[in-house]
Amino acid sequence: MGEGVAYLLDTAFPGSVIGMLLLLSALHLKWIKVDDIRFISSFLLGYMPLFFIPAGVSIMVSYTLMDGFYLQITLITLISTLLVMAVTGHIVQYLVQREK
């Protein structure tokens, strides 16, 4: 559905992200119950490492395009990883405090 919405709106916003937002909305509005998607989501999470193989292969194939940018790519990777870890940690702490 997300890909279809992205195509119809002719947007550069990724269809996969639109699909996740649609799923989040449907879960929040209780159109879909968590129990209805628990089995398939657990299955997909179990095989998640396989989904990174195409991205890894693409990077290996196009490594010549990155020539001369290794320092910048390394810095961006480190900074974005630390930022994601920090934001995730703060969100989890907030949700734990809110639940108490």
Spell out the per-residue pLDDT of the chain, length 100, in tens.
999 999 999 888 899 999 999 999 999 999 999 999 999 999 999 998 898 898 889 888 888 888 889 899 999 999 999 999 999 999 999 999 998 8
Structural contact between residues 19 and 3, judged by C-beta atoms closer than 8 angstroms:
yes
Ordered by start, the domain boundaries in the chain are 1-51, 64-100
**Which helix (H) or strand (E) segment is 96 a member of?**
helix 70-99
- Largest Cα separation within the chain, whole Å, is 51
